[in-house]
Structure 1
Amino acid sequence: MTPTTPNAPDRRTVLRGAAAVGAVGAVAVPLAACTTENSGAKAAGPRAGDAGPVTVGKVPDISVGAGKVFGESRVVVTRPEASVYKAFDARCPHQGCLVGEVEQGVVKCNCHGSQFDVNDGSVVRGPANSGLPELPLKVVDGDIVVG
Protein backbone atom coordinates (compact mmCIF):
# COMPACT_ATOMS: atom_id res chain seq x y z
CA MET A 1 0.00 0.00 0.00
CA THR A 2 1.27 3.42 -0.97
CA PRO A 3 1.39 6.02 1.78
CA THR A 4 -0.84 9.04 1.19
CA THR A 5 -0.10 12.68 1.76
CA PRO A 6 -2.32 14.36 4.35
CA ASN A 7 -5.24 16.25 2.77
CA ALA A 8 -4.61 14.66 -0.66
CA PRO A 9 -7.73 13.30 -2.40
CA ASP A 10 -7.97 9.54 -2.78
CA ARG A 11 -8.18 7.84 -6.19
CA ARG A 12 -11.98 7.49 -6.05
CA THR A 13 -12.46 11.26 -5.44
CA VAL A 14 -10.19 12.15 -8.36
CA LEU A 15 -12.08 9.79 -10.72
CA ARG A 16 -15.45 11.20 -9.66
CA GLY A 17 -14.21 14.73 -10.34
CA ALA A 18 -12.93 13.78 -13.79
CA ALA A 19 -16.26 12.12 -14.64
CA ALA A 20 -18.17 15.24 -13.56
CA VAL A 21 -15.96 17.52 -15.68
CA GLY A 22 -16.43 15.21 -18.67
CA ALA A 23 -20.22 15.24 -18.26
CA VAL A 24 -20.35 19.04 -18.03
CA GLY A 25 -18.09 19.41 -21.08
CA ALA A 26 -20.32 17.06 -23.11
CA VAL A 27 -23.35 19.23 -22.33
CA ALA A 28 -21.59 22.59 -22.85
CA VAL A 29 -20.37 21.85 -26.37
CA PRO A 30 -23.79 21.28 -27.97
CA LEU A 31 -25.27 24.27 -26.15
CA ALA A 32 -22.49 26.53 -27.36
CA ALA A 33 -23.14 25.46 -30.94
CA CYS A 34 -26.66 26.88 -30.67
CA THR A 35 -25.71 30.46 -29.92
CA THR A 36 -24.44 32.24 -33.02
CA GLU A 37 -24.28 29.95 -36.01
CA ASN A 38 -26.79 29.55 -38.79
CA SER A 39 -26.13 26.19 -40.42
CA GLY A 40 -22.48 27.11 -40.77
CA ALA A 41 -23.38 30.58 -42.06
CA LYS A 42 -21.56 32.53 -39.40
CA ALA A 43 -20.40 35.77 -40.93
CA ALA A 44 -16.77 36.37 -41.69
CA GLY A 45 -15.22 39.77 -42.10
CA PRO A 46 -16.39 43.24 -41.14
CA ARG A 47 -20.03 44.27 -41.36
CA ALA A 48 -20.90 46.82 -44.02
CA GLY A 49 -20.47 50.25 -42.53
CA ASP A 50 -17.75 49.18 -40.05
CA ALA A 51 -15.02 50.39 -42.39
CA GLY A 52 -17.08 52.81 -44.47
CA PRO A 53 -19.52 52.24 -47.33
CA VAL A 54 -19.44 48.80 -48.99
CA THR A 55 -20.93 47.80 -52.34
CA VAL A 56 -22.92 44.65 -51.59
CA GLY A 57 -24.71 43.97 -54.87
CA LYS A 58 -26.50 45.28 -57.92
CA VAL A 59 -30.05 46.61 -58.31
CA PRO A 60 -31.14 43.62 -60.47
CA ASP A 61 -30.16 41.29 -57.58
CA ILE A 62 -33.23 42.43 -55.60
CA SER A 63 -36.76 41.79 -56.87
CA VAL A 64 -39.66 44.04 -55.83
CA GLY A 65 -41.27 42.66 -52.65
CA ALA A 66 -38.24 40.49 -51.90
CA GLY A 67 -34.68 40.83 -50.70
CA LYS A 68 -31.30 39.19 -50.45
CA VAL A 69 -28.90 38.32 -47.64
CA PHE A 70 -25.29 39.33 -48.27
CA GLY A 71 -23.56 37.13 -45.69
CA GLU A 72 -20.00 38.36 -46.25
CA SER A 73 -21.10 41.89 -45.40
CA ARG A 74 -23.66 40.83 -42.76
CA VAL A 75 -26.35 42.85 -44.53
CA VAL A 76 -29.82 42.03 -45.80
CA VAL A 77 -31.20 44.30 -48.51
CA THR A 78 -34.93 44.43 -49.20
CA ARG A 79 -36.99 46.13 -51.90
CA PRO A 80 -40.49 46.72 -50.54
CA GLU A 81 -41.44 48.91 -53.54
CA ALA A 82 -39.99 49.42 -57.03
CA SER A 83 -38.02 52.53 -56.07
CA VAL A 84 -37.41 51.75 -52.37
CA TYR A 85 -34.39 49.80 -51.10
CA LYS A 86 -33.71 49.12 -47.42
CA ALA A 87 -30.62 47.68 -45.73
CA PHE A 88 -30.58 46.00 -42.33
CA ASP A 89 -27.98 44.33 -40.14
CA ALA A 90 -28.37 40.64 -41.05
CA ARG A 91 -27.61 39.42 -37.52
CA CYS A 92 -30.74 38.34 -35.70
CA PRO A 93 -31.02 40.24 -32.41
CA HIS A 94 -32.20 37.06 -30.67
CA GLN A 95 -28.83 35.27 -30.60
CA GLY A 96 -26.72 36.72 -33.39
CA CYS A 97 -27.40 34.17 -36.16
CA LEU A 98 -27.35 35.48 -39.70
CA VAL A 99 -30.81 35.67 -41.15
CA GLY A 100 -31.24 33.10 -43.87
CA GLU A 101 -33.71 34.28 -46.48
CA VAL A 102 -36.29 36.83 -47.54
CA GLU A 103 -39.67 35.63 -48.77
CA GLN A 104 -43.33 36.61 -48.61
CA GLY A 105 -42.60 40.04 -47.14
CA VAL A 106 -40.45 38.83 -44.25
CA VAL A 107 -36.78 38.33 -43.47
CA LYS A 108 -36.44 34.89 -41.85
CA CYS A 109 -33.90 33.66 -39.32
CA ASN A 110 -33.50 29.92 -39.72
CA CYS A 111 -31.88 29.41 -36.31
CA HIS A 112 -34.93 29.93 -34.10
CA GLY A 113 -37.71 31.14 -36.41
CA SER A 114 -37.72 34.90 -35.87
CA GLN A 115 -39.19 36.94 -38.72
CA PHE A 116 -38.80 40.63 -39.57
CA ASP A 117 -40.80 43.01 -41.80
CA VAL A 118 -39.05 43.90 -45.11
CA ASN A 119 -40.26 47.52 -44.82
CA ASP A 120 -38.73 48.51 -41.49
CA GLY A 121 -37.00 45.45 -39.95
CA SER A 122 -39.54 45.23 -37.11
CA VAL A 123 -40.31 41.88 -35.47
CA VAL A 124 -43.17 39.99 -37.11
CA ARG A 125 -42.59 36.77 -35.13
CA GLY A 126 -40.27 35.99 -32.20
CA PRO A 127 -38.38 34.80 -30.27
CA ALA A 128 -36.48 38.01 -31.16
CA ASN A 129 -37.92 40.92 -29.19
CA SER A 130 -36.26 43.73 -31.16
CA GLY A 131 -36.04 44.41 -34.87
CA LEU A 132 -33.14 44.39 -37.31
CA PRO A 133 -31.21 47.68 -37.15
CA GLU A 134 -31.53 49.70 -40.36
CA LEU A 135 -28.32 50.71 -42.13
CA PRO A 136 -27.77 53.63 -44.51
CA LEU A 137 -28.14 52.62 -48.18
CA LYS A 138 -27.52 54.39 -51.49
CA VAL A 139 -27.94 53.23 -55.07
CA VAL A 140 -24.99 54.48 -57.12
CA ASP A 141 -24.88 53.69 -60.85
CA GLY A 142 -26.88 50.48 -60.29
CA ASP A 143 -24.74 49.36 -57.31
CA ILE A 144 -26.23 48.91 -53.84
CA VAL A 145 -23.91 50.68 -51.39
CA VAL A 146 -24.42 50.18 -47.65
CA GLY A 147 -22.77 52.11 -44.84
Structure 2
Amino acid sequence: MSLGEVRASRRIVFSGLGALGVAAALAGCAGSGGSSSTKTKVSAGTELATTSEVPVGGGIILADQKVVITQPTAGQYDAFSAVCTHQGLLVTSVDNGTIHCANHGSSYSATTGAVEGGPAPSALAKVEIKVEGDKILAA
Protein backbone atom coordinates (compact mmCIF):
# COMPACT_ATOMS: atom_id res chain seq x y z
CA MET A 1 0.00 0.00 0.00
CA SER A 2 1.48 3.34 -1.01
CA LEU A 3 1.45 6.56 1.02
CA GLY A 4 -1.20 8.01 -1.33
CA GLU A 5 -3.50 5.04 -0.70
CA VAL A 6 -3.12 5.42 3.08
CA ARG A 7 -4.01 9.13 2.91
CA ALA A 8 -7.03 8.37 0.71
CA SER A 9 -8.22 5.68 3.14
CA ARG A 10 -7.86 8.03 6.13
CA ARG A 11 -9.72 10.75 4.23
CA ILE A 12 -12.61 8.36 3.52
CA VAL A 13 -12.77 7.24 7.16
CA PHE A 14 -12.78 10.79 8.52
CA SER A 15 -15.35 11.92 5.93
CA GLY A 16 -17.61 9.06 7.00
CA LEU A 17 -17.21 9.93 10.68
CA GLY A 18 -18.02 13.58 9.95
CA ALA A 19 -21.18 12.64 8.07
CA LEU A 20 -22.22 10.34 10.91
CA GLY A 21 -21.73 13.16 13.43
CA VAL A 22 -23.86 15.55 11.38
CA ALA A 23 -26.62 12.94 11.06
CA ALA A 24 -26.61 12.33 14.83
CA ALA A 25 -26.78 16.07 15.55
CA LEU A 26 -29.72 16.55 13.18
CA ALA A 27 -31.58 13.60 14.68
CA GLY A 28 -31.19 15.17 18.12
CA CYS A 29 -32.72 18.43 16.90
CA ALA A 30 -35.83 16.82 15.44
CA GLY A 31 -39.10 17.23 17.35
CA SER A 32 -41.14 14.30 18.56
CA GLY A 33 -43.70 14.82 15.80
CA GLY A 34 -46.55 13.42 17.85
CA SER A 35 -44.88 10.24 18.99
CA SER A 36 -46.56 7.67 21.21
CA SER A 37 -45.51 9.74 24.23
CA THR A 38 -48.42 12.06 23.37
CA LYS A 39 -50.91 9.30 24.12
CA THR A 40 -52.67 9.54 27.48
CA LYS A 41 -53.67 6.36 29.26
CA VAL A 42 -56.21 6.73 32.06
CA SER A 43 -58.09 3.72 33.42
CA ALA A 44 -61.84 3.72 32.90
CA GLY A 45 -63.71 4.79 36.02
CA THR A 46 -60.83 6.90 37.35
CA GLU A 47 -62.19 10.09 38.94
CA LEU A 48 -60.41 12.97 37.23
CA ALA A 49 -62.14 16.05 38.67
CA THR A 50 -65.42 17.52 39.83
CA THR A 51 -67.56 19.66 37.58
CA SER A 52 -67.10 22.68 39.88
CA GLU A 53 -63.32 22.57 39.30
CA VAL A 54 -63.67 23.22 35.55
CA PRO A 55 -64.53 26.85 34.69
CA VAL A 56 -66.92 27.64 31.82
CA GLY A 57 -64.85 28.77 28.81
CA GLY A 58 -61.71 27.38 30.40
CA GLY A 59 -60.39 24.17 31.80
CA ILE A 60 -57.99 22.42 34.12
CA ILE A 61 -54.75 20.59 33.44
CA LEU A 62 -54.14 17.37 35.35
CA ALA A 63 -50.36 17.06 35.07
CA ASP A 64 -50.09 13.64 36.76
CA GLN A 65 -52.65 12.08 34.41
CA LYS A 66 -51.52 14.19 31.42
CA VAL A 67 -55.13 15.18 30.76
CA VAL A 68 -56.75 18.56 30.13
CA ILE A 69 -60.49 18.86 30.85
CA THR A 70 -62.40 21.75 29.30
CA GLN A 71 -65.89 23.22 29.61
CA PRO A 72 -66.36 25.25 26.40
CA THR A 73 -70.00 26.00 27.28
CA ALA A 74 -71.95 25.44 30.49
CA GLY A 75 -72.43 21.71 31.05
CA GLN A 76 -70.31 20.57 28.07
CA TYR A 77 -67.15 18.79 29.23
CA ASP A 78 -64.40 17.58 26.91
CA ALA A 79 -61.03 16.01 27.66
CA PHE A 80 -57.82 15.68 25.70
CA SER A 81 -54.24 14.62 26.15
CA ALA A 82 -52.38 17.46 27.89
CA VAL A 83 -49.22 16.59 25.96
CA CYS A 84 -48.51 19.12 23.21
CA THR A 85 -48.00 17.39 19.87
CA HIS A 86 -45.12 19.71 18.97
CA GLN A 87 -42.40 18.44 21.33
CA GLY A 88 -44.21 16.42 23.98
CA LEU A 89 -44.32 19.07 26.73
CA LEU A 90 -47.45 19.64 28.79
CA VAL A 91 -49.87 22.35 27.74
CA THR A 92 -49.84 25.28 30.14
CA SER A 93 -53.27 26.94 30.32
CA VAL A 94 -56.87 27.01 29.11
CA ASP A 95 -58.92 30.17 28.61
CA ASN A 96 -61.41 31.74 26.22
CA GLY A 97 -62.06 28.40 24.52
CA THR A 98 -58.38 27.75 23.74
CA ILE A 99 -55.81 25.34 25.17
CA HIS A 100 -52.36 26.95 25.17
CA CYS A 101 -48.84 25.56 25.16
CA ALA A 102 -46.62 28.49 26.11
CA ASN A 103 -43.47 26.42 25.56
CA HIS A 104 -43.43 27.13 21.80
CA GLY A 105 -46.72 28.93 21.14
CA SER A 106 -49.05 26.15 20.01
CA SER A 107 -52.78 26.49 20.66
CA TYR A 108 -55.72 24.10 20.36
CA SER A 109 -59.52 24.27 20.33
CA ALA A 110 -60.96 23.54 23.78
CA THR A 111 -63.94 21.91 22.03
CA THR A 112 -62.22 19.61 19.51
CA GLY A 113 -58.52 19.62 20.38
CA ALA A 114 -57.73 20.77 16.82
CA VAL A 115 -54.63 22.88 16.23
CA GLU A 116 -55.45 26.60 16.09
CA GLY A 117 -51.92 27.98 15.88
CA GLY A 118 -48.21 27.50 16.42
CA PRO A 119 -45.90 24.68 15.39
CA ALA A 120 -48.01 21.74 16.65
CA PRO A 121 -48.34 19.20 13.81
CA SER A 122 -51.59 17.56 14.94
CA ALA A 123 -54.58 17.79 17.26
CA LEU A 124 -54.56 16.75 20.89
CA ALA A 125 -55.79 13.18 21.33
CA LYS A 126 -59.36 12.92 22.66
CA VAL A 127 -59.73 11.35 26.12
CA GLU A 128 -63.12 9.73 26.69
CA ILE A 129 -64.88 10.95 29.83
CA LYS A 130 -68.32 10.74 31.40
CA VAL A 131 -70.03 12.92 33.98
CA GLU A 132 -71.82 11.22 36.87
CA GLY A 133 -73.40 13.73 39.21
CA ASP A 134 -70.64 16.22 39.95
CA LYS A 135 -67.82 13.79 39.14
CA ILE A 136 -65.88 13.67 35.86
CA LEU A 137 -64.66 10.13 35.24
CA ALA A 138 -62.49 8.51 32.59
CA ALA A 139 -64.77 6.44 30.35
Superposition TM-score, scaled by structure 1 size: 0.66
In the TM superposition, what is the alpha-carbon distance from 1:48 to its structure 2 partner? 4.4
Matched, 1:95 2:81: no
Matched, 1:128 2:85: no
1:37-73 residue CA offsets vs partner (Å, 9 max, x unmatched): xxxxxxxxx9442x33321110000111111101111
Distance 2:63 2:70 in 1: 14
Residue in structure 1 matched with residue 129 of structure 2 by the alignment: 137
Matched, 1:66 2:70: no
Matched, 1:119 2:106: no
1:53-105 residue CA offsets vs partner (Å, 9 max, x unmatched): 32111000011111110111100000011121000000001111010110122
In structure 2, do the counterparts of structure 1 residues 78 and 107 end up closer, same or farther at CA, with 3 Å as the change threshold? same
- Count of matched residue pairs: 113
In structure 2, do the counterparts of structure 1 residues 48 and 140 end up closer, same or farther at CA, with 3 Å as the change threshold? farther
Distance 2:41 2:133 in 1: 19
In the TM superposition, what is the alpha-carbon distance from 1:136 to its structure 2 partner? 0.6
**Identical pairs, percent:** 33
What RMSD, in angstroms, separates the aligned Cα atoms of the two structures? 2.7
| Bigger helix share | 2
Conserved 8 A contact 2:44-2:137: no
Residue in structure 2 matched with residue 82 of structure 1 by the alignment: 74
Conserved 8 A contact 2:40-2:127: no
**Unpaired segments of 5 or more residues in structure 1?**
1-23, 37-45
Distance 2:138 2:102 in 1: 24
**Unpaired segments of 5 or more residues in structure 2?**
1-20, 33-38
- 2:52 partner SS: helix
Conserved 8 A contact 1:87-1:146: no
Distance 1:121 1:72 in 2: 19
Structure 1 runs (4+) deviating above 4 angstroms are none
Residue in structure 2 matched with residue 104 of structure 1 by the alignment: 96
